[in-house]
Amino acid sequence: MIDRNTLRPVTGDGRRLFVETYGCQMNVGDTEIVVSVMQREGYVYTDRIDEADVVLINTCSIRDNAEQRIWGRLRELRGLRRRRPSLLIGIIGCMAERLKERLVEGEDAVDIVAGPDAYRDLPRLVREAEAGGKGVNVLLSNEETYAEIAPVRLDRNGVSAFVAIMRGCDNFCSYCVVPYTRGRERSRDAATIVAEARTLFENGYREVTLLGQNVNSYRTGDVDFPALLKSVAEISPLLRVRFATSHPKDMSDRLIETMASMPNICRAIHLPAQSGSTAVLERMNRKYTREWYLGRVEAIRRLMPDCAITTDLIAGFCGETEEDHRATLSLMEQVGYDFAYMFKYSERPGTFAQRHLKDDVPDEVKTARLTEIINLQNELSERSNRRDIGREFEILVEGVSKRRDDQLFGRTSQNKVVVFDRGGHEAGDYVRVRITGCSSATLYGEEIL
Ligand code: 5AD
Ligand code: SF4
């Protein structure tokens, strides 16, 4: 078959592709790149796995339970293939990178194995698998950013989209597998980022989230992250801009000032603390102390008193004492996080912690500490929601509420979900709302007419 636009031969020939995505937002963005690459080759995306010819699973290695879930899913897919022998199954992303040998041979073997930097090569890998071989490419690159590939937006809310601005990570936190699965840090060309965001805006999108493992260290030529953020925010005052994730060590005053200077840069900072104990932070190789972290929070509060601060926390890291754990709880209180992702430490093969530190906190202690952390955060989140009652917010509408179709839901600049009566509004509208009530996860409001 020939592509009528480019006159290139394409090999997909209308065969159907399905991709299932696990893990972080970067992976969601990567899946959109994968679909774009495969569509150019003549494959057609389907969201029905039962009619797919090729199924790719975009995987995550961050914790052991993430990988266990995917092994379980793979067993189910093998069942599907027994009924449909022509079905091709591929594992792509972080697990492909980490576990290539196991995925190529033996009972866990799949047809296609592609690491996070090998997605341009996928059409060839799929062809090899179609010819009866195995398509394998797990080479990491120091340059690949998929800069000019236009992602195929699969979420289809048509209002908010992710835009990847960098890949990889050079921080080497001692617990983390990402530097090994995603390779070295590299930033994507600024002009392509701004062009992608502008195209999204012209197509009706009203919010972009700039994504990277550590967006604060973005740099291409003399464009650093505050400069990039500003250029994207200048596309239109009607375009909201968010970003994730920030590393506290690189959270600069200039970034905070840039945010404060533009109302369409959202008042929300995800600032993973991981622990409230300086001794633990040191073993984690986080390169900041509790005091430094609190200083950054203070700077944010000084310039943007209405800014939401959210975090990631790990319970039971190597050598964590009861006192260290108390320090995490007190940090949470002191900051008053609006929201947190909370995890039990999970040892990952090949990391510094696995090689040099002892995973010595017993599992039941980890569980007990995590439970305490979760209970405290539930209280803090509720307090944060209650504080909003009576206040006014501008909501960007994302869609119709799942519970009732006469209600809409959207988000505040602080990234909280608000549900309110539809009025004459639709997705993509900005609506001024007064908060009238809340549950633990949602705010309820009414339009200010
Ligand atoms: N165990 C538990 N949590 C981890 N994270 C990263 N690595 C691990 C691990 N080995 C958490 C961190 C990070 C988030 C994405 O996942 O909190 O910020
Ligand atoms: Fe999971 Fe980290 Fe890979 Fe994202 S980068 S998919 S969180 S291991």
Q: What DSSP assignment string belongs to 197-231?
A: HHHHHHTT--EEEEE-TTGGG-EETTEEHHHHHHH
The pLDDT of residue 155:
75
The pick from 24, 62, 286, 339 for probing ligand 1's pocket by mutation, whose C-beta has the most ligand atoms within 8 angstroms, reads 62
For 269, the enclosing helix (H) or strand (E) is strand 268-270
Q: Atom 1 in ligand 2: which residue has the minimum CA distance? A: 60
How many angstroms does the Cα of residue 27 sit away from the middle of ligand 2?
7
**SS3 state at 67:** helix
User: Phi, psi at residue 10, to the nearest 5°?
Assistant: -120, 150
How many angstroms does the Cα of residue 70 sit away from the middle of ligand 2?
13
Contact 126, 37 (CB under 8 A): no
Closest ligand to residue 169's CA: 2
The pTM of the whole model exceeds 0.85: yes
Atom in ligand 2 nearest the alpha carbon of residue 66: 1
The pLDDT of residue 225:
98
Closest ligand to residue 347's CA: 1
Evaluate: CB of 63 within 6 angstroms of ligand 1: yes
Residue 198 corresponds to which amino acid?
A: R
Evaluate: CB of 26 within 6 angstroms of ligand 1: no
Side-chain-facing half-sphere of 169: CA atoms under 13 Å? 22
How many angstroms does the Cα of residue 130 sit away from the middle of ligand 2?
28
Cα 127 to Cα 209: distance, rounded to the nearest angstrom: 34
Cα 3 to Cα 42: distance, rounded to the nearest angstrom: 8
CB atoms within 10 A of CB 86: 9
Give the Cα-Cα-Cα angle 52, 58, 64 (nearest 5 degrees). Answer: 130
Q: Is the peptide bond before 245 cis (omega within 30 degrees of 0)?
A: yes
Evaluate: CB of 176 within 6 angstroms of ligand 1: yes
Atom in ligand 2 nearest the alpha carbon of residue 22: 6
- Residue 311, strand partner residues: 340
The pLDDT of residue 10:
59
How many angstroms does the Cα of residue 24 sit away from the middle of ligand 2?
6
How many angstroms does the Cα of residue 315 sit away from the middle of ligand 1?
10
Cα 246 to Cα 278: distance, rounded to the nearest angstrom: 19
Evaluate: CB of 22 within 6 angstroms of ligand 1: no
How many angstroms does the Cα of residue 180 sit away from the middle of ligand 1?
14
How many angstroms does the Cα of residue 313 sit away from the middle of ligand 1?
8
Place of tokens 């007990």: 368
CB atoms within 10 A of CB 76: 9
Closest ligand to residue 67's CA: 2
Cα 43 to Cα 11: distance, rounded to the nearest angstrom: 8
Evaluate: CB of 314 within 6 angstroms of ligand 1: yes
* Per-residue model confidence as pLDDT tens for the chain (449 residues): 555 555 555 567 789 999 999 999 999 999 999 999 999 999 999 999 999 999 999 999 999 999 999 999 999 999 999 999 999 999 999 999 999 999 999 888 999 999 999 999 999 999 999 999 999 999 999 999 999 999 999 877 899 999 999 999 999 999 999 999 999 999 999 999 999 999 999 999 999 999 999 999 999 999 999 999 999 999 999 999 999 999 999 999 999 999 999 999 999 999 999 999 999 999 999 999 999 999 999 999 999 999 999 999 999 999 999 999 999 999 999 999 999 999 999 999 999 999 999 999 999 999 999 999 999 999 999 999 999 999 999 999 999 999 899 999 999 999 999 999 999 999 999 999 999 999 988 999 999 99
Q: Which residues line ligand 2 (CB under 6 A)?
A: 23-24, 26-27, 60-62, 93-94, 177-178, 181-182
Residue 431 exposed, middle or buried by CB count within 10 Å (0-12, 13-18, 19+):
buried
Closest ligand to residue 286's CA: 1
Contact 33, 149 (CB under 8 A): yes
Evaluate: CB of 180 within 6 angstroms of ligand 1: no
Atom in ligand 2 nearest the alpha carbon of residue 94: 3
- At 309, list the tokens: 């601060």
Evaluate: CB of 274 within 6 angstroms of ligand 1: yes
Residue 128 exposed, middle or buried by CB count within 10 Å (0-12, 13-18, 19+):
middle
User: Phi, psi at residue 87, to the nearest 5°?
Assistant: -65, 130
- At 173, list the tokens: 């936190």
Atom in ligand 1 nearest the alpha carbon of residue 176: 7
